[in-house]
Chains A and B, each alone.
Chain A
Amino acid sequence: MFGLKSDPSTELPERYFSLEDYEGGVARWCPGCGDLGVLTAVQRICRAEQLPPEKVVCVSGIGCSSRFPHYVGTYGFHGLHGRPLPVACGIKSRRPDLTVWVATGDGDCCSIGAGHWIHALRYNMDMVVMLFDNSVYGLTKKQTSPTTPQGMSTNTHPSGAWLPPLDPLTAMLGMTNVSFLAQTVDWNPAHLHATLAAAYRHKGLGFVRILQRCPTYSAGVFEDLQRDPSRLLMLTGPRGIQVEPAIANMFPNKREHDPSDLGTARAICEAHDPVPIGLLFQDESRPCYDAFTNHGLGMPTADKVAALEKELDRFTV
């Protein structure tokens, strides 16, 4: 005997997933849409982590960005307007083995879905939420969304949006049990990829707000930021988003930031200008509700049926 017998058939056939394995239908977003870059970034992360496609679920609500699940070759749930987060939390409650990506827009998340937004952050279940913020309702052809800049002309406000926009970052930094909050831009694929990867690795709900260009209905909203990178404030530091030096050099304006410092994160966001990108806040010690909702997962089917019958026996028809 010189060790165990060498038998290649003892191993189940290994699977390797390429980028194509995560591709779904042909993306029907407008030419030049920022969503395409986010789609590629997510597919690349899935490939890097070699996530079996059947173990990934992309969940979305309604909006341009919510077409996302159709373009990914994994399981998907294209839900109701404003409701991707309850669906995602439901999935994570009973299927902790699945990786959940949530695609939601500024209208979907911050307007009709705002009630769910608050509580999903509080539940802090292990998933990644990508807020595609293009400052407009694009799918319905340019209505004012909660994040539309003041004065921008839309179909609902032809003479310009009347109210100041909602800042999702300052809002979330005030919400209970938030555990990971980052901001990135779709026009820098390297930073976008690194930010989403950090959110994926985070244990808990990784929320990433993506400043996303809509070339059709809100073209020019981020043009200043794109043309003049000094308008952006890149947050650096050993615990922040790590990118190659060549990518970091594209952002002349940098600041070292400790993501555990909630007060400084708030101050940075409230300044509004320059616009921060990077990891604003992270606290992995925050409780995750899925740890509670996953109880009893190994319960045999027969026991489940017995428990249900016992419960139903309490009622008479």
Chain B
Amino acid sequence: MDQYPRLPGASAEAKAEWLRAIRDFHFGRGGAAHPALSWRPAAPATCGLVVPAASADPTAPLRELLEVARTEVPARREAFATQLRTLRDGLADLLAVEDQRDPGPERLRASVGAFGADLVDASALDGILGAQRGSMRVDGRRRQRIEQALAVFARYLDGGGPPLLTVLHTEAGREAVPAMQGLVAELAEDPCRAALRSFDAAAERFCEVVRALRTARLEVTSSYDAERHDPWIATVDWETLSAEELSLVPTIVAVDSASRLTGEAMPGWSRLLASGRPVQVLALASPVHDPEQGLDAVFSSYRVELGFLGIGHREAFVQQTSTACAEHLREGFRRALGGTRAALHVVVVEPAPLSVASRAHPLFRYDPDSGGSWARRLDVSGNPDPELDWPVTTLTCLAPGGRAKELELAVTFVDHALQESALTGEALVVSDEYRSDDLVPLADYLRLDAETAARRLPCLWVQDEDQDLHRAVPTRRLTQACRDRLAFWRSLQELAGIHSEHVERALERARDEARQGREELEAQRAAELEQVRSEAVGQAAHLLAATLVGVGVEDLVGLAPVTAPAVPVSTPAAPAAAAPAAAEAEVPAATATISSEPWIETALCTSCNDCRNINPQLFVYDDNKQAKIGDPSAGTFAQLVKAAEKCPARCIHPGQPLDPNEKGLDKLIARAAPFNR
């Protein structure tokens, strides 16, 4: 553990004093003024690896959502419109036919023209045409239904369609809303409550179209039954829509800040998610906090997990993502818009994925449509090194001798937190002159047991403006916040099936059982081996003894030791031959019995009806319209023989006569014989 060379001049007392000062700072008891510690502009060494210079665009999440809507929604709407157009034409044709049914003399006269009018008596022709019979007429109620449906179709098809996204936002959230075509923004005091109302209004407008659609489907096939279908059509609301129809209801988006949603706006979005209405809630989170909030507010905000609260609603789609992880963000939007559930998107607006890498805002997606278990629903893929506590990154630095050296660093929550101006004083750089094994890298420190940790201090590597590396010690409060983030990350891991303790316990149990089974088997084999060995030795000794005393091998049977194997050395021939004979005698002789029942090879029947024309009770058809025997007692043997002879597929086998008193049986049996073979 002697990682750092000791300063030659530092006395034990001086080192103890320095350590006391550092501990005081760590535990918040002062000590910051001690020369062992200094504040200087320094950033965690890992940050240089992930932070670009550009700042994040607050409109990025809605731009992405709109882009996804552009690729998904128009095709769906067009397919639906095509469906409506087809039905509209069908209904229009129905009315056109109805209108032509009674043309009237005037229309007939016009249709035959001036030349024809002299040749054809239009009134007489109308009398003939009007007397036609046999087709169904459109009554008044039906015509009204059809005309209403046509009017709704016309409004929907000619209306230009609703916008792709209707965004509801607060005054503060205005900066997150881009001015783009296809997006309509509305100001609301509480966007989530307003979204609920907006959705209900939009859904009701769409349900009117669905009612017309369902009516039209029934009308074009002339199967509308007012008594049965009127109540059904009347009860159509958004909850009765099919998944496909529900995905066509205009998309409503409530945009709000994550801090507001975890505070005063919480009842609104919670009710929205619980309602099941497919509304999108966009919670925008900032990776840094306002320093004016005070440290307590900053630390407590880290403990509120908006995404996890969303998962608590169980049936809503929830994702936590970052604008710096565009593919993850887009895929989540795609799934949410393709589904029919309420969706909560917690999006961190940041230029680089440091909050993701430091597990401050780990990526996850909870999709109830993926299955019934946590393992299927929760997906943490997309996070760097998802199987580790902290992602590991490599920093190349120059060692004192000018030699390049690679330093493996864990990106922890502290690396992210120190980016916040409010938290800059939560870590101080330790003088390079102080070297001690008491300073343990933070990731390792968090793995220590409580007793060891109490004797150590966490540290992390920071870089100053000259890019020189120094160690810094975070306060206990910040360390505890880091520990809390780790605990949350481990919960996510376990729920997503990574390092699940249940699995590990089950594996251990299975290993134990396998080990135990193997040991038992090995013990059994060893015992058997030992037994065989001892028997073989006994046998050999016995043979040797017999040979020595001059007894012949043929006499060994009687002299065999009690431990000898049960199999005799030689078996007398006579008993061996007698045994099978006795066995044969016990088994009754097999007789070739042929069924006396009539039967039909049904699979070969060509459905020619010949047999059924003879006796439809004796011969019946199965589900495939192929013949089988129905009631054998319903006919005579003569009918069976006749059918067998007529059957072109030769698949009827008459068997033996059931009635021994039937006339002419001898001849019939002789005729049946070829079909019974």
Contact = CB atoms under 8 A, between A and B. Distances in A.
B240 A36 contact: no
Contacts of A33: 608
Contacts of A36: 606-609
A66 B315 CA distance: 59
A215 B315 contact: no
A190 interface: yes
Interface of A: 1-5, 7, 9-10, 12, 19, 27, 31-34, 36-37, 39-40, 43-44, 186-190, 213, 215, 244, 246-247, 298, 300-301
Given A31-B646, A44-B625, A301-B89, A4 B243 contact: yes
B304 interface: no
B189 interface: no
Nearest to A39: B607
Interface size class of B (residues with CB under 8 A): 35 or more
5 contacts: A9-B235, A32-B648, A34-B608, A187-B604, A189-B605
A39 B606 CA distance: 9
B613 interface: yes
B604 A7 contact: no
Contacts of A298: 82, 85-86
Contacts of B603: 189-190, 244, 246-247
Interface string B586-620: 00000000000000000111111110010000000
Interface of B: 82, 85-86, 88-89, 92-93, 96, 214, 217-218, 232, 235, 239-243, 246, 274-277, 315, 340, 342, 603-610, 613, 623-626, 646, 648-649
Contact of B623 (A12, A19, A186, A213): A19
A32 B276 contact: no
A2 B646 contact: no
Contacts, number: 94
Contacts of B646: 31-32
B607 A9 contact: no
B239 A7 contact: yes
Nearest to A22: B625
B624 A4 contact: no
A189 B624 CA distance: 11
Given A1-B276, A2-B276, A4-B243, A40 B315 contact: no
B370 to A, nearest CB: 14
Contacts of A31: 608-610, 613, 646
A74 B577 CA distance: 73
Contacts of B86: 298
A246 B274 CA distance: 59
A1 B625 contact: no
A31 B89 CA distance: 48
Contacts of B275: 1
A301 B246 CA distance: 30
Contact of A37 (B217, B235, B607): B607
B600 to A, nearest CB: 12
Contact of A186 (B96, B239, B242, B606): B606
Given A4-B243, A7-B235, A12-B218, 12 more contacts: A1-B276, A1-B315, A12-B217, A32-B608, A34-B608, A36-B609, A37-B608, A43-B625, A187-B604, A189-B603, A215-B648, A300-B85
Nearest to B229: A9
Contacts of A9: 232, 235, 240
A126 B217 CA distance: 27
Given A2-B276, A40-B624, A300-B85, A187 B649 contact: yes
B626 A7 contact: no
Contacts of B88: 300
B463 to A, nearest CB: 50
A10 B624 contact: no
A211 to B, nearest CB: 13
B274 A1 contact: yes
B609 A27 contact: yes
Contacts of A7: 235, 239-240
Give the 8 A-B CB pairs with smallest separation, nearest first: A1-B276, A37-B606, A5-B239, A40-B607, A32-B648, A9-B232, A36-B608, A40-B625
Nearest to A2: B315
Nearest to A52: B221
B340 A4 contact: yes
A210 B603 CA distance: 18
Contacts of B276: 1-4
